């Protein structure tokens, strides 16, 4: 069993040094490769025919000198053009509102004052968790800060 790694190394080194190929067959060594290669050459001396014969005998062959099937993609040219900015969301989600010294009644009064200034279309939901950008700016200017983001 200890000879298996040595045979594999010998097969690989022989293949690399000899013809630019690696031939691997599970449970086989350099002697088996040489015998199968000689048998295949007796049938047909053409290198492609020998390769096909070895594959038919269970050998996996990799050509080290073969060109890649497809060339690697060319690197993309760098462009100074920036993608357009993402649109800003129409609403801001707020977990809760905070103002030093302010309570719920003060928040209601601030929201009512901002809606009166901005228009009835800016009225937020009942818990003030989803507010327009304009209402958010108005409440921020009045000293109200958001804590976290709402659902």
Going by C-alpha positions, the residue among 115, 119, 121, 103 that lies closest to residue 139 is: 115
Question: What are the tens digits of pLDDT across the range 14-49?
Answer: 544 555 678 888 888 888 889 999 999 999 889 889
Q: 63: which strand partners?
A: 21
Q: What pTM was computed for the model?
A: 0.42
Q: Which two tokens stand for residue 123?
A: 């009225």
Question: What's the CA gap between 117 and 135, in Å, rounded?
Answer: 10
Question: What are the tens digits of pLDDT across the range 72-123?
Answer: 677 777 777 888 887 777 888 888 898 888 889 999 999 999 999 999 989 9
Question: What's the CA gap between 49 and 38, in Å, rounded?
Answer: 12
Do the beta carbons of residue 131 and residue 146 sit within 8 Å? no
């Amino acid at each position: 069993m200890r000879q298996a790694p040595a045979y594999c190394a010998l097969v690989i080194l022989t293949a690399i040094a000899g013809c630019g190929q690696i031939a691997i067959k599970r449970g086989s060594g350099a002697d088996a490769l040489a015998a199968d290669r000689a048998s295949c050459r007796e049938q047909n001396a053409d290198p492609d025919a020998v390769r096909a014969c070895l594959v038919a005998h269970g050998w996996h062959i990799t050509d080290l000198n073969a060109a890649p099937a497809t060339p690697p993609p060319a690197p993309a040219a760098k462009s100074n053009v920036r993608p357009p900015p993402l649109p800003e969301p129409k609403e801001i989600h707020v977990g809760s509102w905070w103002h030093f010294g302010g309570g719920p009644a003060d928040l209601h009064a601030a929201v009512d004052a901002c809606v009166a200034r901005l228009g009835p279309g800016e009225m937020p939901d009942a818990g003030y968790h989803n507010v327009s950008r304009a209402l958010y700016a108005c409440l921020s200017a009045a000293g109200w800060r958001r804590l976290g983001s709402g659902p």
